[in-house]
Amino acid sequence: MKGLKMAKFDPQKIITPIMKFVNMQGIIALKDGMLAILPLTVVGSIFLIIGQLPFEALNQAIASVFGKTWTEPFMQVYSGTFAIMGLISCFAIGFSYAKHSGVDPLPAGVLSVSSFFILLKSSYVPAKGEAIPDAIAKVWFGGQGIIGAIIIGLTVGAIYSFFIKRHIVIKMPEQVPQAIAKQFEAMIPAFVIFLLSMCVYILAQILTGGSTFIELIYRVIQIPLQGLTGTLWGAIGIAFFISFLWWFGVHGQSVVNGIVTALLLSNLDANKALLAAGNLSLENGAHIVTQQFLDSFLLISGSGITFGVVVAMLFAAKSKQYKALGKVAAFPALFNVNEPVVFGFPVVMNPLMFLPFVLVPIVAAVVVYASIAIGFMQPFSGVTLPWSTPAIISGFMVAGWQGALVQVIILALSTLIYFPFFKIQDKIACDAENQAAKTK
């Protein structure tokens, strides 16, 4: 019809709100704060695996030499690392929020931890018996308390930064050393934070009939969110949004990790508890989607699993630029770094590459989820690896030979799905090169 025009797609309409979200103070603090617990989860889980070897014969052989309690020191390391990730993340998020606000971050981290303890019960009630004063259930320091810890860290960081930036502080004379003056500056925000924490503690007690704020958050928010991320649709959503954001030039892995890492680590922590009890199975409530699901299977060769593009460039490219790019991109791809492909091919804002870039990770998510659901692979536990660990190695370490085989299948599917799209892109590049050569 006359007068009607095709609406043009304007990527900026999507990029602008995405970038506003990504650059929000709380999101930045959350991402940085969760990164702080990476050494605890990666290294601590290795000690857990050693202390919970899945081979009974080997366990007995070692126990015959070192005694039945030989695993206790390894579990002690796990108890002081992975098992306190909620507490540490609370400090790190409050610290990070204040740091990005341009104020002294250390008091914010300290006040966050203090608020965390105010909102916990200061006594422990065993299943049978009377309450033990000045004892705290350590379970809330780890995965079960991590969402509450995030909320506390963000809230305390925001309140502390508000007071400091607006100079609502106790000001000391210039003669007072800065180290001492800064402690006095923190006293007014500390009083407000502690008062609010006490009020929240009382309110939670009234609303729940004796439970704490962190327990309330666990039941009302964390359990439903863990259940959502643990579904097939949750896995597909994680896979989709990483690639979707990357296609627009936004670091999808960083954004999605910042949002779901706490939940995936909580899922993993629950699996570790089942492993320690010898009950790691789906029938006993084990989670399928954990941090290993993301790091070791949805990010192999990089976001979008662009292994297929690299293979096509190395062995099937006819254009000079893709032959050269394949050689450059091959080595980083081994360590799951694919910026040369994402920006050099390019994938970003390339309409031809949108479908395979989004589709391959979704297919991978379905394959991994199905492999665990049907019993081919056990639910993940034990070793947590950095996302940069090469494929096959990472698969074997987190899920045995079955995990390595599933990774091989995913890489093969990546090659099959990307190849026809690559051939079209390669032909376009060849034609452009030939046209440029004729005009010289």
pLDDT, one tens digit per residue, over 40-65 is 877 887 787 777 766 667 777 888 88
Of 39-53, 111-125, 333-347, 368-382, where does mean pLDDT reach its minimum? 39-53
Q: What is the pLDDT of residues 63-90, one digit of tens each?
A: 888 888 888 888 888 888 888 888 999 9
**What pLDDT does residue 4 have?**
46
Average pLDDT score, the chain: 87
Q: What is the mean pLDDT of residues 110-119?
A: 95
Residue by residue, what is the 3-state secondary structure of the chain?
CCCCCCCCCCCHHHHHHHHHHHCCHHHHHHHHHHHCCHHHHHHHHHHHHHHCCCCHHHHHHHHHHHCCCCCHHHHHHHHCCHHHHHHHHHHHHHHHHHHHHCCCCHHHHHHHHHHHHHCCCCEECCCCCCCEECCCCHHHHCHHHHHHHHHHHHHHHHHHHHHHHCCCCCCCCCCCCHHHHHHHHCHHHHHHHHHHHHHHHHHHHHHHCCCCHHHHHHHHHHHHHHHHHCCHHHHHHHHHHHHHHHHCCCCHHHHHHHHHHHHHHHHHHHHHHHHHCCCCCHHHCCCCCCHHHHHHHHCCCCCCCCHHHHHHHHHCCCCHHHHHHHHHHHHHHHCCCCHHHHHHCCCCCCHHHHHHHHHHHHHHHHHHHHHHHCCCCCCCCCCCCCCCCCCCHHHHHHHHHHHHHHHHHHHHHHHHHHHHHHHHHHHHHHHHHHHHHHHC
Task: Give the pLDDT of residue 47.
Answer: 82
266 versus 2: which is more confidently predicted? 266
pLDDT at 36: 85
**Residue 391 or residue 177, greater confidence:** 391
pLDDT at 289 over 60: yes
**pLDDT, greater one: 334 or 253:** 334
Q: Does 279 score more than 90 pLDDT?
A: no
Query: Is residue 174 scored above 50 in pLDDT?
Result: yes
- 174 versus 160: which is more confidently predicted? 160
Q: Would you state the pLDDT for residue 360?
A: 97
The residue among 440 and 206 whose pLDDT is bigger is 206
Report residue 131's pLDDT band, with 50, 70 and 90 as the boundaries: low
Judge contact between 143 and 270, C-beta under 8 A. Answer: yes
| Residue 61 tokens, joined | 């052989």
CA angle 200, 201, 203 (to 5 degrees): 60
Surface-to-core class of residue 126, CB atoms within 10 Å of its CB (0-12 exposed, 13-18 middle, 19+ buried):
exposed
What share of the chain in percent tops pLDDT 90?
46
364 or 33: which leads in pLDDT = 364
Cα–Cα dist 274/189, whole Å: 41
Does the pLDDT of residue 130 top 90, yes or no? Answer: no
| Contact indicator for 245, 354 with CB cutoff of 8 Å | no
Domain ranges (residues) in the chain: 15-123+130-218, 229-429
